[in-house]
Structure 1
């Protein structure tokens, strides 16, 4: 893991460099826990680089997160650096997509009701606080999916999207229009 930490310290934002480190974790799954630990050291400069790798790993194999799910969800709200929050939000979206997918049956038994409620709280927090557009977009998609199960979410989501729509950036508006359209069809 010392080698990996040194690689993280030297990491640039290039996608191919991030993929090399993500593949290292995928080939050495016992390193996933220490990678998550590094992500959750939120005051350390290296934490956002670890979050970049965690995102790529989870996009390729979300099941590696399952044994660490409680720690991830209990601590994700402490992540505050914008470069780290965006990958965490993407991981939440991926987790939610897998859970509600008819194809990914194995995750349906893993994500408890309490964990889904935690995801809901985290996503609403991201949506109503000063976050980058990508984070808000991932959050609103998660909330849309979670709202299919928890019926109170969709009305609250609609209120927030309607309220913030005119003050937000074009990318937010595009995703909000898409979600609002889906909400109106139901």
Structure 2
């Protein structure tokens, strides 16, 4: 399937789980489609970009390692994503990557995710957190930043400041995750008594 054929196919899908799963399985069954999916995802002014993002999230949810050869492309272009319905699935994938990076088991992402990749993800997450966007990307960004903050001492104070500043004006969903994140950051900062 060419890029043009994939683009045309994606232009017909809707946000239903059934459609997203169908196309995610198509990509998983022919992984050569993955870079084409990424190319469409980063056509950020095109509405099909959002549809590609929906499929991209489902592909990564089932097989996060599909992204490994494309970590440079993905992280270097994160800042270009601006449509709300593309930001949510992309921010979720950033959370998947962070969780794999901090997994107790050894994996490819742990070995190949470098400081530059992390910088791009962290910058995008802070942008999503401070911009006037929907709650879901903010929640995913909080979790991603919490995880990356384990190795980057400067993240927790910045994240705490943003959460506390925005707390009163945000939704109940934001507040619930914010309380949980603040508590976990505080626990993470407590020095070992050994």
Normalised by the size of structure 2, how large is the TM-score? 0.92
Gaps of 5+ in 1: none
For residue 3 of structure 1, report the CA deviation from its aligned partner.
4.4
Residue 173 of structure 2 is matched in structure 1 by: 171
Q: C-alpha distance in 2, partners of 1:119/1:7?
A: 29
Q: Tell me what 1:106 maps to.
A: 108
Report the alpha carbon displacement of residue 19 of structure 1 after superposing the two structures with TM: 0.5
Which residue of structure 2 aligns with residue 43 of structure 1? Answer: 45
Alignment of 1:1-186 (within 5 A): 1=1, 2-186=4-188
Unaligned runs of 5+ in 2: 189-194
Task: Provide Cα deviations, 1:14-38, integer angstroms capped at 9, x if missing partner.
Answer: 1111101100000000010000000
Is 2:76–2:117's contact at 8 Å kept on the other side of the alignment? no
Q: CA deviation at 1:104?
A: 4.3
Report if the CA contact (8 A) 1:35-1:50 is conserved: yes
Contact 1:100 1:108 in 2 (8 A): yes
Q: Say how many residue pairs are matched.
A: 186
Compute the displacement of 1:106 (Å): 2.2
